[in-house]
Chains A and B, each alone.
Chain A
Amino acid sequence: MKLKNIRADFVVYARNFLRTRSSIFFALLFPVIFLLVFGAIFSGNQSKIPVYVQNLDNGSPLASSFMTAVNSSGVLSVVNVPQNVNIKDYISQNSISTALVIPQAFSEDIASHQKVNISFYYNPAQSTSQEAEQAIAFVVQDFNFRLDNATPLVLTSTNTVSSSGTQYIDYLVPGLIGLSILTSGVFSLTYLVNNYRKEKIFRQLSLTPLTRGEWLVSKFVWNLIIALISVFLMITVGDLVFGANVSFNLLILPIIFFGVFGFVSLGIIAGAISKSEETASVIGNIITFPMMFLSGTFFPVALMPVYLQEFARFLPLYYVIDGMNSVTLFSNMGSYVVDLAVTAAISIAFFMIALKVFSWRER
């Protein structure tokens, strides 16, 4: 392998890449747009669950202090429902998933020490209304304590398990970094190998002293640079826009290095074994799709059913994302070392297979 050949091929490839606007868009801007969209959907600001409350005991101070308690639970936000409507019709007409009705005799019954029922309507299919149910039960309990002037004796104090407070976005950033390494590596190389074969560029290169190994290394180096720029952009945008706490931890670099190496090799394998551009894109999708959703990209693997969690352990991207999470979320060095070792082993295996199946001479 000659460094000057790798460098010459790298310069040619980089020039061609930079002169193609769509490739810059897909490699650099697309992951950031993904981050902005998913970050906006899941960011903490709008996580309060709306609760529609029909207060039939209007004007009573007890009823309004109950409503204030619901509103200040931190989880729920009260939306008022007019007194003169049938709550069931109102719920179905407005597609409401969580509602409360405070009965007319609310303060009267409490004053006379009679039990009073607040009706709670919820949609079991909606995970938010289950959360709302728990929050309301907590608010009711607390309200009862205060009516009795009782002092709770057992209290909890909360601590987060990671070094700094963890939000969903902190989870999303490494996941999307993994995703962008996967897709840009696999898709760009699958396309490139097919296109170069179809356009007879490989035949042209085979007439020069450039070797396949040198060509592969130059593609890998360029993709690594693109990946590092993309990582930098995503961490910066995650921090500036959503206040994510993912830092530029140097330990994620070896993971990214082997991740890019492995996925570039995988893309070359996919391009080499597919006979046409159509099959190439199908094979590219078959490779990337399961990994995209089952490797902990958008949500933690732990949320999935056990059999899918087992399946995830066969996906290379799982180790890339888990390795980054081990560093950025959990500071779990043991897990990091295992993830890095597995990523490196998979990448090297993919590279060997790529060298074996990828030829630029026609048979």
Chain B
Amino acid sequence: MAIFVMQRRLHASDGKSVREKGRFIINAEGLVKHYGSIKAVDGISIKIRKGEVYSLLGPNGAGKTTTVEMLEGLRKPDHGRINVLGLDPFADADVLHRREGIIPQGFNFIEKITAKEAIGYYATLFGVKNRAKELLELTNLTDVADVNFMDLSGGQKQKVGLCLALSNDPEILFLDEPTVGLDPQARRNIQDVIRRLKSEKRTIILTTHYLEEAEELADRVAIINHGKIMAEGTPQEIIREYGDGMKLSVSAAPVLAKAFDGRKGMSARYDSGRVIVALESDAKISKAIRIIENSGQEWSNLKLNNETLEDVFLSLVGKKEKE
């Protein structure tokens, strides 16, 4: 809340920013999209605030890309309404694309054009200053600025996409799987750039199937499967709501589990040689260890697992899969 107030004061001279601040600048309701008989998106509603990093998570074919492409104005929804910065993304695509930066899934560019030339080309088309030098530095591409697109590595190509998406200094960025298939270093590199863009208070919509990426970068996450939103919120909210919280486990006899009977905020079960204790919060860790020590049972090999978004994701997506 404190940050929110400060922002307001900073932007006090800019009336438009004040009005949009904290408000939802992307508002989609009841989106449905079919491809033939396949329902790719089945009633998705999304609201995204200005300056927020919003991540769409889901397995392949879940409907992430179709959802994002409707928000971008690349596809027209069969049903539902979308409002981006007060405009209809499909009908007003030409206006919105001047205020948005987009890396579509599987970004590709003209084979024998260099990164520097591509940025210059976009700058001319958008009628903005050519920021090639700055953007190439930001994305660590300065050394390969004059290499043809086709001769770049996967990570470098993706970064060219990032440069092009940024060339018109956009308010909203759509990054559809920007790090897919890249080696860890290239991925980290792009994540650093995204973090930097986040600090510049740009609104970012990020689809990914790397969970730790979403957990690390996103303010809010939506887990999508079979064209529907399964869970939405901050990563912590989702873990709290759908996960089992903190887990502590030891190798011990089944009887140890009985020591936790009736304890508040703790429950234990025995599973293949180990006693697993689910803890309501971190505060219960030391208490649980004391109970184990005081039980008089033989025990060894203590492990502490904090449930991650990945665990929740797998249980949510897996649960749906079984139905």
Binding site for B on A (CB under 8 A): 4-5, 7-9, 11-12, 15-16, 19-20, 199-201, 203-204, 206-210, 361-362
11 extra interface residue pairs, beta carbon distance < 8 Å, beyond A5-B124, A16-B110: A4-B124, A8-B120, A9-B121, A15-B112, A16-B111, A20-B111, A200-B104, A200-B106, A207-B97, A209-B98, A209-B127
Give the distance to chain B from A290, nearest Cβ to Cβ, in Å.
Answer: 33
Instruction: Flag whether B309 is at the interface (Cβ < 8 A).
Output: no
CA A206 to CA B109, docked complex, whole Å:
12
Nearest A residue to B123 via CB reads A8
CA A12 to CA B108, docked complex, whole Å:
15
Q: Which of B218-250 contact A (CB under 8 A)?
A: none
**Chain A residue contacts of B110, Cβ below 8 A:** 12, 16, 201
Give the distance to chain B from A359, nearest Cβ to Cβ, in Å.
Answer: 12
Give the distance to chain B from A84, nearest Cβ to Cβ, in Å.
Answer: 70
Asked if B97 contacts A200 (CB within 8 A), the reply is no
Asked if B102 contacts A15 (CB within 8 A), the reply is no
**Provided the pairs A209-B94, A361-B74 are in contact, do residues A204 and B107 lie with their beta carbons within 8 angstroms?**
yes
Q: Which of B100-139 contact A (CB under 8 A)?
A: 102, 104, 106-113, 117-118, 120-122, 124-127
Asked if B104 contacts A203 (CB within 8 A), the reply is yes
Q: Name the residue in A4, A199, A209 with the highest tally of chain B Cβ atoms < 10 Å from its Cβ.
A: A209
Residue in A20, A208, A361 whose CB lies within 8 Å of B122: A208
Residue in A5, A19, A200 whose CB lies within 8 Å of B125: A5
Residue in B102, B112, B117, B121 whose CB lies within 8 Å of A207: B102
Asked if A208 contacts B125 (CB within 8 A), the reply is yes
Q: Which of B251-295 contact A (CB under 8 A)?
A: none
Asked if A362 contacts B75 (CB within 8 A), the reply is yes
- Number of A-B pairs whose CB atoms are under 8 Å? 63
Asked if A12 contacts B117 (CB within 8 A), the reply is yes
Residue in B104, B109, B112, B124 whose CB lies within 8 Å of A8: B124
Residue in A12, A19, A201, A209 whose CB lies within 8 Å of B97: A209
Residue in B93, B108, B121 whose CB lies within 8 Å of A200: B108
Binding site for A on B (CB under 8 A): 72, 74-75, 93-94, 97-98, 102, 104, 106-113, 117-118, 120-122, 124-127, 148, 164
**Chain B residue contacts of A200, Cβ below 8 A:** 104, 106-108
Give the distance to chain A from B136, nearest Cβ to Cβ, in Å.
Answer: 17
Asked if B74 contacts A362 (CB within 8 A), the reply is yes
Asked if B124 contacts A201 (CB within 8 A), the reply is no
Task: Pull 5 A–B residue pairs with CB atoms less than 8 Å apart, ordered by A.
Answer: A8-B125, A9-B125, A12-B117, A20-B111, A20-B112
Nearest B residue to A196 via CB reads B110
Q: Name the residue in A206, A208, A210, A362 with the highest tally of chain B Cβ atoms < 10 Å from its Cβ.
A: A208
Q: Name the residue in A11, A20, A207 with the highest tally of chain B Cβ atoms < 10 Å from its Cβ.
A: A207
**Chain B residue contacts of A19, Cβ below 8 A:** 112, 148
CA A4 to CA B118, docked complex, whole Å:
15
Asked if A209 contacts B126 (CB within 8 A), the reply is yes
**Chain A residue contacts of B120, Cβ below 8 A:** 8
**Provided the pairs A208-B125, A209-B127 are in contact, do residues A16 and B75 lie with their beta carbons within 8 angstroms?**
no
Residue in A5, A15, A199, A206 whose CB lies within 8 Å of B117: A15
Asked if A199 contacts B126 (CB within 8 A), the reply is no
**Provided the pairs A207-B102, A209-B98, A362-B75 are in contact, do residues A201 and B126 lie with their beta carbons within 8 angstroms?**
no
